[in-house]
Chain A
Amino acid sequence: MRKKRSSPKAMRIPGRKSGTTRPQPAAEGLDTNSQRTTKHRRSSLRAGLAVVGGRAAGALSRRLHLGGGTSIVGLVAQRLYPGIVGHLATQLEYGSVLVTGTNGKTTTSGFIAAILSDAGLRVWRNREGSNLMRGVASSLVIRALPNGHLRRAGRAISIFEVDEAVVPQAVQTIPPRVAVFTNLFRDQLDRYGEVDSVAARWQRAVGLLPTSTTLVLNADDPTTANLGELFTGKVLYFGIDDPSFDLTAQRVSSERHQAIDTRTCPQCGSDYTYDLRFYSHMGHYYCTNCGRRRPQVDIRAVQVQSDSFDRLRISVATSTQQREVVIPLPGLYNIYNALAAIAAAQALQIDWNPIASGIEQFKPIFGRGERIQVEGRTIRLLLAKNPTGFNEVLRTLFSDETPRHVLFILNDNTADGRDISWIWVVDFERAVGQTAALSVAGTRALDLALRLKYAGFAERDMTIIPPTPLRAMRREAVLNERSKRVAKADQVRPAVLTDKEQEPGMKAMQRYGIAEALDVAIDKTPIGETLFVVPTYTGLLEVHRELERRGLTPHYWEGRDR
């Protein structure tokens, strides 16, 4: 039996904590209220039940290979005891950090986790992108004991990556010490509704935050920055101040299509004007009509140098100092992610050394640029789940005229968003003529192939690997074959048999499914070269499962203390 460090009576709300010094030992005074103790005991009992139930369900799901088994734990536990998240989260000694936004949540919370670990804290996260409330519940439940107490809650801080749509519920359940909002773009309209409705939820969430929370906001994103005005507590803004990233300063023609999701000033409704624009609606904006502009920035990237494809050296200036940080990931969006993490660390008053080391030694996680060696080739996974994310991945891949080997995977499962019309605003045109090999897979492979065709790719240069053959084509092949056979012999075999036999008849070379798509793409990549796999969210899961099946990646569900 492990020894409990934190007493169950030590109920504290982390958000209410002042400063960052270690809090005093549990207030024993609570104990005197016997009524409360009974109530607490009862909830402990329920929590224990929920913990046991949830973990059993998770183990079962993992055993039966129904999935990663991460979401089900929280789902079951919450069913058994809806208050489980609040019950467990309040036991954390250092409270929690909440990270939300359309893009960059996972990498930002990864950076924060690395920084805080280097600072000597015990960091807990909800990982693997299962970031609905259920995922948050899971991450706590798998670390709880059957008596409803968290294991090793001392010196512990949790980082919750929260889906942008559930932020109000999340901050109500767990008032965070630091709340990070990375950015707001259009994503999965069918699931979240329009950008405006997400913005409204965020405003509601900010209204629910205690004033002791520090808000970390992206100054370059108008909607996100706007949240700071509604908040009476402390706000830290981060942003990029390096003009060399301005779109107009780059070689690419400025008429390039950009998916701009926020364009008007919320105060007066006129269009924003930009001094500098980095991508989409990110940049130094101001309103010519009412004078509203990007806020004063606290954590600024003043200079960015690119050492190599995925090694960026940035100078970060705060009000007191200017330091250099190396980001081991490609892309402008990762500069924002690093800045967000630095700002969050500053809000927690972490020293500079763990900040720099945490970011520099950061290992790319789950589809955010991770590297896998396969048959002499390197595979790199770059998740792209919405237009802005996809555009930034394309910009990263196709900006230095190096021909790339690419496999795109487009799925339309619920977690990806059922509506795939967004591929039509992705700037695939910029990749034309820059691919050495191009394969297209996923449940909507044909739609993506069509998009690429209209972007200017020749059909013969693409290999399309849909998940399954079209029935209509099979039937056609069967019909052809049958009529031939009828002419030949008088005996006609049942259609079921011929159906199976003739499947490869029509398109002998056609291949199907993610496993084959990977094979095709790897085959087309010469030994020693890199294959870039750009999947949507569930596509990424499928690739992972397949690589795992081949023994190439570790299991990604970890449910254990680190």
Chain B
Amino acid sequence: MKEDFAAHPTLTLTLGHLYPDQLNLYGDRGNILTLRQRCLRRGIELRVVGLGIGDALAPDEYDMLFIGGGQDKEQAPVAQDLYDVKGIGLWAAIEDDMPMLAVCGGYQLLAHYYRPASGPDMRGLGVFDAWTIHKGSHVPRCIGDVAISWNGGTLVGFENHGGRTYLGTAKPLGKVLKGHGNNSEDHTEGAFYRNAYGTYLHGSLLPKNPHFADHLIGLALQRSLRVGTAFGGTPGDHEGRSYISEGDDTIVAATGERTNGSTPSAVVDREPSAMLTPLDDRLEWEAHASLLERLGLYSAATAALHTHGAKL
């Protein structure tokens, strides 16, 4: 059944991958691969469109955005282009609840500014009310495995950043359980605004955190059903699709009339990934739990396996 859907995807989501050539440090590929495969297993095709320097960002062409991290040398021209060419489109997309994942350098560029150890500040988009300061090479980089709390569970990954990020009014993605996080001072890690998530976690982030991957896919799907991009602009023909688990009311609510422009409450209240068919994620959760155990977080590991792994 699943295979049938994989062979003939009936639904398409489009992921805009920002600066795939410049911001391509290890592991970004793992995130894209994970999103694509987890969509495909539910009969959803994920198209990935690269957005390089000079390319405009038309928000209505995408369902999801991703921006990774890069070397310092590559980051400066990207920062300029992000601000000058893509800024308005990106802002519009984020204000319209488009899910976005920004990792490492990309996360820094979505805050107000990045202040290098020497040289001028790099201006960011200010999506997150936060800023990053590199205090110079005498201050050790934040390197190592990291685990944070998120949404009642955990996220695990690897961090490697020289800059320290400080949050203004931006809400953190999670609380650091083990590792450095934003600045290794205040136990915060990452930031989020609407459906845009910034984080230092890579390693890659999404393969070992399938609940977070599904959360992003769920958000994208929810939004596309509301906006109507997923069916090529013709919402309506969606009966009996098995990519959506139980609860037809959600779909109806989501794809039905956008009454008075307000978002149907059914969509807001439920965890967006709940509308996706569960996959066999035992390996994912074992990897997740094993990293937690390596960090000495044994009860978190048990909890992760219990809530996710053991269920299957």
Q: Which of A's residues lie within 8 Å of B, judged by CB?
A: 186, 189-190, 194-196, 257, 263, 387, 418-425, 446-447, 449-451, 453-454, 459, 464, 466, 470-473, 475-476
With A418-B158, A446-B287: A471-B301 Cβ-Cβ less than 8 Å = yes
> Whole-angstrom distance between the alpha carbons of A418 and B293 in the complex?
16
> Whole-angstrom distance between the alpha carbons of A419 and B37 in the complex?
23
With A196-B73, A449-B283, A470-B289: A421-B204 Cβ-Cβ less than 8 Å = yes
B268 on the A face (CB < 8 A): no
A476-B144 in contact (CB<8A): no
A472-B293 in contact (CB<8A): yes
With A190-B143, A421-B203: A472-B289 Cβ-Cβ less than 8 Å = yes
Interface of chain A, main secondary structure: helix
B71-A194 in contact (CB<8A): yes
B301 is contacted by which of A257, A387, A470 (Cβ under 8 Å)? Answer: A470
B71 is contacted by which of A196, A449, A459 (Cβ under 8 Å)? Answer: A196
Extra contacts besides A421-B202, A470-B305 (12): CB < 8 Å: A263-B21, A420-B158, A447-B287, A450-B284, A454-B30, A454-B34, A459-B283, A466-B290, A471-B298, A471-B301, A472-B298, A476-B310
Count A-B pairs with CB separation below 8 Å: 97
B203-A419 in contact (CB<8A): yes
With A419-B26, A472-B301: A447-B208 Cβ-Cβ less than 8 Å = yes
Contact sample, A vs B, 9 pairs, CB 8 Å cutoff: A257-B29, A419-B160, A424-B30, A450-B284, A454-B30, A454-B34, A466-B290, A471-B293, A472-B289
A450-B26 in contact (CB<8A): no
- Encode contact with A along B98-138: 1 for CB under 8 Å, 0 otherwise: 00000000000000000000000000000000000000000
B26 is contacted by which of A421, A446, A453, A470 (Cβ under 8 Å)? Answer: A421
- Encode contact with A along B277-298: 1 for CB under 8 Å, 0 otherwise: 0000001101101100100001
- Encode contact with A along B19-41: 1 for CB under 8 Å, 0 otherwise: 00100011111100110010000
A189-B26 in contact (CB<8A): yes
Q: Nearest Cβ in chain A — how far from B20, in angstroms?
A: 12
Chain A residues whose C-beta falls within 8 Å of the C-beta of B310 in the assembled complex: 476
Counting from the closest, the 9 A-B pairs by CB-CB distance are A421-B27, A424-B30, A446-B287, A421-B26, A472-B302, A472-B301, A194-B71, A422-B26, A421-B203
Shortest Cβ distance from A266 into B: residue: B73
Q: Nearest Cβ in chain B — how far from A269, in angstroms?
A: 8
B158-A454 in contact (CB<8A): no
Chain A residues whose C-beta falls within 8 Å of the C-beta of B302 in the assembled complex: 471-472, 475-476
> Whole-angstrom distance between the alpha carbons of A186 and B287 in the complex?
25
B29-A450 in contact (CB<8A): no
With A451-B207, A472-B302: A418-B145 Cβ-Cβ less than 8 Å = yes
B30-A418 in contact (CB<8A): no
Shortest Cβ distance from A452 into B: residue: B283
B306 on the A face (CB < 8 A): yes
> Whole-angstrom distance between the alpha carbons of A257 and B295 in the complex?
32
Q: Nearest Cβ in chain A — how far from B289, in angstroms?
A: 5
- Encode contact with A along B55-89: 1 for CB under 8 Å, 0 otherwise: 00000000000000001110000000000000000
> Whole-angstrom distance between the alpha carbons of A186 and B25 in the complex?
10
> Whole-angstrom distance between the alpha carbons of A473 and B293 in the complex?
11
Chain B residues whose C-beta falls within 8 Å of the C-beta of A446 in the assembled complex: 283, 286-287, 290
Chain B residues whose C-beta falls within 8 Å of the C-beta of A194 in the assembled complex: 71-72
Chain B residues whose C-beta falls within 8 Å of the C-beta of A425 in the assembled complex: 26-27, 29
A186-B298 in contact (CB<8A): no
Chain B residues whose C-beta falls within 8 Å of the C-beta of A449 in the assembled complex: 283, 287
Interface of chain B, main secondary structure: helix
> Whole-angstrom distance between the alpha carbons of A296 and B143 in the complex?
41
A424-B306 in contact (CB<8A): no
Chain B residues whose C-beta falls within 8 Å of the C-beta of A190 in the assembled complex: 143, 160
Chain B residues whose C-beta falls within 8 Å of the C-beta of A422 in the assembled complex: 26-27
With A419-B26, A421-B27, A470-B290: A450-B283 Cβ-Cβ less than 8 Å = yes
Q: Nearest Cβ in chain B — how far from A466, in angstroms?
A: 7
A454-B71 in contact (CB<8A): no
B160-A424 in contact (CB<8A): no
Chain A residues whose C-beta falls within 8 Å of the C-beta of B72 in the assembled complex: 194, 196
> Whole-angstrom distance between the alpha carbons of A422 and B29 in the complex?
9
With A190-B143, A263-B21, A470-B290: A424-B301 Cβ-Cβ less than 8 Å = no
Shortest Cβ distance from B202 into A: residue: A421
Q: Nearest Cβ in chain A — how far from B279, in angstroms?
A: 11
B144-A418 in contact (CB<8A): yes
A450-B287 in contact (CB<8A): yes
B37-A454 in contact (CB<8A): yes
Chain B residues whose C-beta falls within 8 Å of the C-beta of A466 in the assembled complex: 290
Chain A residues whose C-beta falls within 8 Å of the C-beta of B158 in the assembled complex: 418-421
> Whole-angstrom distance between the alpha carbons of A475 and B301 in the complex?
11
> Whole-angstrom distance between the alpha carbons of A421 and B29 in the complex?
9
Interface centre among B33, B284, B286, B305 (most CB of A within 10 A): B286
Shortest Cβ distance from A429 into B: residue: B33
> Whole-angstrom distance between the alpha carbons of A195 and B26 in the complex?
12
Chain A residues whose C-beta falls within 8 Å of the C-beta of B286 in the assembled complex: 446, 470
Q: Nearest Cβ in chain B — how far from A495, in angstroms?
A: 14
B33-A424 in contact (CB<8A): yes
Q: Nearest Cβ in chain B — how far from A489, in angstroms?
A: 26
> Whole-angstrom distance between the alpha carbons of A525 and B14 in the complex?
44
Chain B residues whose C-beta falls within 8 Å of the C-beta of A459 in the assembled complex: 283
Chain B residues whose C-beta falls within 8 Å of the C-beta of A418 in the assembled complex: 143-145, 158
Q: Nearest Cβ in chain A — how far from B253, in angstroms?
A: 33
Chain A residues whose C-beta falls within 8 Å of the C-beta of B304 in the assembled complex: 472
> Whole-angstrom distance between the alpha carbons of A475 and B290 in the complex?
14
> Whole-angstrom distance between the alpha carbons of A189 and B161 in the complex?
11
Chain B residues whose C-beta falls within 8 Å of the C-beta of A476 in the assembled complex: 302, 305-306, 310
Q: Nearest Cβ in chain B — how far from A257, in angstroms?
A: 7
Shortest Cβ distance from B288 into A: residue: A446
With A422-B27, A451-B30, A454-B33: A472-B305 Cβ-Cβ less than 8 Å = yes
Shortest Cβ distance from B34 into A: residue: A454
Chain B residues whose C-beta falls within 8 Å of the C-beta of A196 in the assembled complex: 71-73
Chain B residues whose C-beta falls within 8 Å of the C-beta of A464 in the assembled complex: 283
> Whole-angstrom distance between the alpha carbons of A411 and B282 in the complex?
21
Interface centre among A196, A420, A470 (most CB of B within 10 A): A470
> Whole-angstrom distance between the alpha carbons of A212 and B203 in the complex?
45
Q: Nearest Cβ in chain B — how far from A203, in angstroms?
A: 14
- Encode contact with A along B198-236: 1 for CB under 8 Å, 0 otherwise: 000011100110000000000000000000000000000
> Whole-angstrom distance between the alpha carbons of A476 and B308 in the complex?
13
Shortest Cβ distance from B28 into A: residue: A424
Chain A residues whose C-beta falls within 8 Å of the C-beta of B289 in the assembled complex: 470, 472
> Whole-angstrom distance between the alpha carbons of A326 and B293 in the complex?
49
> Whole-angstrom distance between the alpha carbons of A422 and B26 in the complex?
5
> Whole-angstrom distance between the alpha carbons of A459 and B306 in the complex?
21
B305-A453 in contact (CB<8A): no
